[in-house]
Chain A
């Protein structure tokens, strides 16, 4: 693999077998007098190949159920593809389905320790980065509360903060912006810019076309599990809009500081990142 390549996906296919009836127990299967389950095949990914270079902001778009999350999970090593290979140059920090595997019964503090460890940090590293993790997520007040008392936006902020503080070469970001507030979204993008400048790679899934257009170097458009287009963001997006018959319009998602500060005063949100983010 080329030195400049961060991720190389070769000809990946993945089919899920979905059983017709959910017979999850021995007893049920015995009672039905048939051992073999009838399956329906669902082709989640078909012949997906692409390369992501180091320092690239690579976007993935597609409808719900088009295989985006499956693809990310295969790259993160959670699922195994039926066919094909994934090669990765460096280590991955996964942020999948809005989280890093938090435990709702534990406090924010304990969750940082648990998930930091799972993501490959040593005890020392977690200790050193703990304050920075809390500061980035702005959870100082709630850090000793159980996670189940957090709002979904707060949980995502904390999870995102943990995942970026692992300081890995590749970040997998699945729908980071979905529940965070505008201010947090800004902070995320400020952080992404920093990462790209530092030569890190970002794999970014989002339904937000404005940020895709603004930040992504290249975009992969998945259509029912098949990579129907890889290339510049603008082209990928207009192909997506055309195929899915979505009228193109200016996206409502806020990504300008002016709009974000509506109602509350933020002088310069990026300042915050620079002063607090120090992995």
Chain B
């Protein structure tokens, strides 16, 4: 049933996101440091281990690793909080009607902001340390890749946010899957080190394609195969629409199960 009440959608999303921030950092802006710390610790460890042991010969290995980790963290964070969003906002949803997609999207705002912060640091490294300056076309493509990564996170969030109400261990399952996917994506290793037969399997993971293409654009200052991008978009759009439909359908009786 449709709710007769009108709400200011943008203000509501922003207000919910702001509340999340407040809860997470308890009013202290120093809390933002944690946002950097997690991916950069991972980066430092991985960089220490792998750049010296295995991938000495790979040019610009460190910055490639950093970009991979920053993009991956965004996907992992956003899909995780998106999944938990409806459950986490149960205390509100039980008392006031709110469109569920608003709740899901607002919960991912924090991940998006953290990602932007991390991206700034990445670009500082890229410009000041590596002296690589990607062209406008490359930057434009990179924006498309980011939108797709965010879209894929939302796709997973929309698909899982109502399901987890019935299966509370879905987040544990997703955490394990994320771990598997992390190593199935070319983040710590270059895709070129993977044998051809396995490489096509890895490309089934959309993050593989997006991370590789982002590296080609920003670090190699080149243009990756655009037809691959179009195939990905062609698969993504119907799936995204399907997930919106799915969320609408399953949110009808999700509140009474909480």
A residues neighboring B (CB under 8 Å): 16, 24-27, 29, 76-81, 86, 88, 90-92, 94, 96-97, 99-103, 105-106, 110, 113-115, 117-120, 122-123, 168
Contacts and interface: CB of A to CB of B under 8 A. Distances in A.
B11 A97 contact: no
A90 B4 contact: yes
A89 to B, nearest CB: 8
Contact of A122 (B8, B167, B255): B8
Interface string B8-48: 10011001100100110000000000000000000000000
A92 B4 contact: yes
Contacts of B4: 77, 88, 90-92
Contacts of B95: 78, 94, 96-97, 99-101
Contact of A114 (B6, B8, B15, B94): B15
Contacts of A106: 19, 22-23
12 contacts: A26-B167, A77-B4, A78-B94, A90-B4, A91-B5, A99-B95, A102-B91, A103-B92, A114-B16, A119-B96, A120-B8, A123-B11
Contacts of A80: 1, 252-253
Given A27-B169, A106-B19, A122-B11, A101 B252 contact: no
A27 B167 CA distance: 9
Nearest to B13: A117
Interface residues on B, range: 20 to 34
A92 B8 CA distance: 15
Contacts of A78: 93-97, 255
Contacts of A99: 95
Contacts of B7: 117-120
Contact of A113 (B15, B253, B256): B15
Contacts of A120: 5-8
A115 B7 CA distance: 11
A115 B92 CA distance: 9
Contacts of B255: 78-79
Contact of A103 (B2, B19, B166, B169): B19
A103 B91 contact: yes
Interface string B148-183: 000000000000000000111110010000000000
Nearest to A125: B8
B251 to A, nearest CB: 9
B89 to A, nearest CB: 8
Contacts of A97: 94-95
Given A24-B168, A26-B167, A76-B97, A118 B92 contact: yes
B139 interface: no
Contact of A115 (B11, B96, B170, B256): B96
Contact of B12 (A16, A92, A118): A118
Contacts of A168: 5
Contact of B5 (A26, A27, A92): A92
